[in-house]
Amino acid sequence: ELKVEQNPLFLSMQEGKNYTIYCNYSTTSDRLYWYRQDPGKSLESLFVLLSNGAVKQEGRLMASLDTKARLSTLHITAAVHDLSATYFCAVLPQGGSEKLVFGKGTKLTVNP
Amino acid sequence: DAMVIQNPRYQVTQFGKPVTLSCSQTLNHNVMYWYQQKSSQAPKLLFHYYDKDFNNEADTPDNFQSRRPNTSFCFLDIRSPGLGDAAMYLCATSRTPGQGETQYFGPGTRLLVL
């Protein structure tokens, strides 16, 4: 059974600082997604990573995928308050399954 | 704009009183999903439709049913809501199954059970 672990679960950081959120998964997959969720809102798709070594960047966020290590990272550069949200990684198992398996989420708070 | 729409956004029901949540999409996607998300937890897949083919998750309670009368609409029926069913219910769509395409989420319906 596929398990997805995110670290840390809670992250409080100052504006202007850098930090990385980690997402490990337990079985083979080459489809990994990052979503953002604001309090009381739905999930917004940030990145889709489809192959080993994939790197995608949008603004202050950069996501990467290492399928051999079964690890994805979401790197935050020079954080701003607007990035405060919960970030989920989600993994689609190989074999045609449609069941996205989510990590528990990382609640990010960026303080002035 | 193409999108995923959920109605109502907030639903209050009584313990044991059936409730139906609605999802519609203008993306013309083949796959529609229903997720349950409880407070401070990750979304949990209840079931999904690929066209008219219904796929139930093994651990989805029998209390939860779904209907997809056409490509655009999908309904979640909770036959006898319990207090533990209070949650945000998220509908999502994707274009093609098995291809790892992005799932697009609707705004969610927050269900309160009294």
pLDDT at B100: 67
Average pLDDT on B7-14 reads 94
B contacts of A96 (beta carbons < 8 Å): 97-98
Peptide bond into B8 cis (omega under 30): yes
- Rounded to the nearest integer, the mean pLDDT of chain B is 92
The closest alpha carbon to B111, from B10, B6, B4, B3, belongs to B10
Contacts of A22 (CB under 8 A, 6+ apart): A6, A7, A71, A72, A73
With tokens 């999108």, the residue in question is: B3
Chain A interface includes B98 (CB < 8 A): yes
Query: Which of B57, B96, B103 is the mutation pick for testing A, counting most A CBs within 10 A?
Result: B103
Of A42, A48, A98, the CB nearest to B90: A42
CA separation for the pair B114, A33 (Å, rounded): 35
B contacts of A50 (beta carbons < 8 Å): 100
Check B100 against A31: CB less than 8 A apart.
Answer: yes
Chain B interface includes A99 (CB < 8 A): yes
Average pLDDT on B1-30 reads 92
With tokens 């009368």, the residue in question is: B69
Check B50 against A98: CB less than 8 A apart.
Answer: yes
User: Closest chain A residue to B31 measured between Cα atoms?
Assistant: A98
* Token pair listed for A19: 């930090």
CA-CA-CA-CA dihedral for A45, B46, A84, A36, to nearest 10: -10
Q: Within the 63-82 window of chain B, which residues sit less than 8 Å (CB to CB) from chain A? A: none
CA separation for the pair B71, A15 (Å, rounded): 45
Contacts of B69 (CB under 8 A, 6+ apart): B75
pLDDT tens digits in sequence order for chain A, 112 residues long: 889 999 999 999 999 999 999 999 998 886 899 999 998 888 999 999 988 888 999 999 999 999 999 999 999 999 999 999 999 999 988 776 778 899 999 999 999 8
Chain B interface includes A98 (CB < 8 A): yes
Check A42 against B106: CB less than 8 A apart.
Answer: yes
- The dihedral sign for the CA sequence B49, B53, B58, B63: positive
Give phi and psi for A82, each to the nearest 5. -65, -15
pLDDT at A59: 95
